Amino acid sequence: MRKLAGIARLAGQRLLSSLPALLGVVVFTFVLMRVLPGDPAVFFASGPSAGQQEIQDLRHQMGLDRSIPVQLAFYLRDIGTGSFGRSMTTGQPVLKDLRERLPASLELTFTALFIALGLAIPMGVAAALNPGTAIDHAVRFLCTLGVCVPTFVSGLLLIYVFYYLAGIAPDPTGRIDVFTAPPPSLTGFLVIDSLLAGDAEAAAAALRQLVLPAATMALFVLAPLARMTRASMLAVLGSDFIRTGRAMGLSRSRIIVVYALRNAALPVLTIAGIVFSTMLGANVLVEKVFSWPGVAAYALDALLASDYAPVQGFVLLMASIFVLVNLLVDVLYGLADPRVAAA
């Protein structure tokens, strides 16, 4: 109980210290909306055909004729109620657009994260257990190389190799090929939805589309994860309590899994949180390369079309996801490390 209270306090602290950053983002998006060319009232008006009077009324209604602090207050109220305005490109409310596209981005990001973690942790552990050997050198070489290749280059090269040369990958456009009917939406994750609907063919089609973009993203974050796993595992393996375990005759597997890996996982968890944020950013590039209909591609299209309401909604969405992820990391960390709750 005391431990849970400690974790709760810690999570609260983190939430509190996220507030300045979050507030900064909100003010930033507010400025974005005000500074940028274009009258916000026009965004909310029924369309380009709206009359001068209608816009004037809207200005008054939206408080655009008030002082800046009052406007900021109105803005905060709007965000609180989820009204991010309307996209000029799609003609829909931004919130609706984001809600439709978010599962695509999350499906891609989570798949990539699981692939990356599933590869990076064994790689890092193997390298740390055999320092100085060929395995270690190979992992370190991969790590050094991995951070050097930008996602937009590796993604395109993967397309070239697997789509153009080998012909085994599908056309790199979208989440599911045009000939397959998408499953009824439940979770929004196409692979899972297809499986839930019992449609193996659709699941396979969705998976085929997912593999290349997810691999591209996973390659990008593999290096920092494997590097951190190796470093933290090496540090733990050299620590006194591992020697104690050996001196007490504990089995090798118990020392590696229970004593070393659990301790080494703590810094990896922190890095995984940062890596997730990086992936949210990298989404912009990967979604563009693979024409993936996610929130990032949506925001990017809007940005290039000088349609700023979706950009603002996107930035706020990213900020909220990032706060949630950080909270999750903190809670997991608190559960894994008793020292945190006591501090």
Partner 1 sequence: MSAAAAAGHALHVLRGNRVSALAAILGLVLVLAAVIGPLLTRYDPVTSDVAHALQPPSAAHWAGTDQLGRDVLARVVAAGRLDYAIAAAAVFLSFIVGAVIGGACGFRGGAVDRWVGRVVDVLMAFPLFVLAMAMVAALGNRVENIVYATAIINLPFYIRFARAEVAVRRQAGWVEAASASGNGPGRIVLRFLLPNVLPAMAVQISLNLGWAILNAAGLSFIGLGVRPPTPEWGIMVAEGARFITVGHWWLVAFPGLALMLSVLCFNLLGDGLRDMLDPRMRT
Partner 2 sequence: MSGPSANELLRVEDLHVSFATRHGLVRALRGVDLTIAPGETLGIVGESGSGKSVTALAALRLLDRAGRITGGRILWRGEDIAGASQRRLRGLRGAEIAMIFQNPRAALNPIRPVGLQIADALRSHRKLSPAEARAAALEALRQVRIREPERRLLSYPHELSGGMCQRVMIAMAMACEPALLIADEPTTGLDVTTQKAVMDLLAQLTRAHGMAQILITHDLALAAQYCQRVMVMEQGKVVETAPPAKLFSAPGHPYTRRLVAASPTATSTLPGSRATILGPPLLEVSKLSKRFADGTLAVDDVSFSIAAGESLGLVGESGSGKTTISRLVCRLMDADAGDIRLDGAAIGAIPAREFHRAPQRRLVQIVFQDAGDSLNPRFTAFDAIADPLRRLGGARGTRLAEEVEACAARAGLGADLLSRYPHQLSGGQKARVGIARALVVRPKLLVLDEPTAALDVSVQAVILELLDRLRAEEGLAYLFVSHDLNVVRMLCARLIVLQTGRIVEQGDSQALFRAPQTPYTAELVASIPQLVTAG
Residues pairing with 86 in the sheet: 93
Residue 136 binds partner 2 (CB under 8 A): no
Residue 31 or 335 with smaller CB distance to partner 2:
335
Q: Which residue in 24, 118, 281, 338 binds partner 2 (CB under 8 A)?
A: 338
**Which one, of 300, 304, 302, lies nearest residue 287 by Cα?**
300
Interface with partner 1 includes 282 (CB under 8 A)? yes
Q: Give least dist CB 258 to partner 2, A.
A: 7
Asked if 6 touches partner 2 (CB under 8 A), the answer is no
Inter-CA distances, 342 with 3, 4, 16, 250, 270, Å: 8, 10, 19, 28, 19
Question: DSSP alpha helices (H): ranges in the chain?
Answer: 2-35, 40-44, 52-62, 68-80, 94-129, 134-146, 151-159, 190-196, 200-237, 240-247, 252-254, 262-289, 295-304, 308-336, 338-342
The residue range among 80-88, 107-115, 166-174, 238-246 that interacts with partner 2, by the rule CB under 8 A, is 238-246
| Residue 286, contacted partner among partner 1, partner 2, none, CB below 5-8 A by kind | none
Measured in degrees and rounded to the nearest 5, phi and psi for residue 66 equal: -95, 180
Identify which of residues 85 and 245 has a Cβ nearer to partner 2 in the complex.
245
Size of the site for partner 2 (CB under 8 A): 26
Binding mask 276-315 for partner 2 (x = CB under 8 A): ----------------------------------------
Query: Least distance in Å: CB of 274 to partner 1?
Result: 5
- Residue 2, binding choice from partner 1, partner 2, none, Cβ under 5 to 8 Å by partner class: none
| Exposed/middle/buried for residue 337 (C-beta within 10 Å: 0-12, 13-18, 19+) | middle
CB atoms within 10 A of CB 106: 18
Report, in Å, the least distance between residue 9 CB and partner 2: 17
Max Cα–Cα distance, the chain, nearest Å: 85
Selected from 5, 21, 68, 70, the binder of partner 1 by CB under 8 A is 21
Other beta carbons within 10 angstroms of residue 218's beta carbon come to: 22
Alpha carbons 63 and 97: distance in angstroms, whole number? 25
Q: Taking the CA of residue 189 as centre, how many other CA atoms within 13 Å lie in the half-sphere pointing to its CB?
A: 13
Which residues in the 33-62 window bind partner 1 by CB under 8 A? 35-36
Partner from partner 1, partner 2, none contacting 166, C-beta within 5 to 8 A by type: none
Three-state SS for 93?
strand
Q: Which tokens hold the place of 238?
A: 């050299």
Which residue from 147, 262, 291, 306 is in contact with partner 2, where contact means CB under 8 A?
A: 262
The residues pairing with 26 across neighbouring beta strands, listed in sequence order, are: none
Question: Cβ distance 25 to 319 under 8 Å?
Answer: yes
Distance of closest approach, residue 132 Cβ to partner 1, in angstroms: 7
Tokens of residue 292, six digits: 């993936």
Residue 263 touches which of partner 1, partner 2, none (CB < 5 to 8 A by kind)?
partner 2
CB of 343 to partner 2, least distance (A): 9
Q: Rounded to an integer, what distance in angstroms lies between the CA atom of residue 27 and that of residue 21?
A: 10
Q: Does 248 bind partner 2 (CB under 8 A)?
A: yes
Which spans of this chain sit near partner 1 (rule: CB under 8 A)? 17-18, 20-21, 25, 28-29, 31-32, 35-36, 132, 144-145, 147-153, 156-157, 159-160, 163-165, 171-172, 273-274, 277-278, 280-282, 284-285, 288-289, 296, 300, 303-304, 308, 311, 314-315, 318-319, 322, 325-326
Which spans of this chain sit near partner 2 (rule: CB under 8 A)? 131, 238-241, 243-252, 254, 258-259, 262-263, 266, 336-339, 342
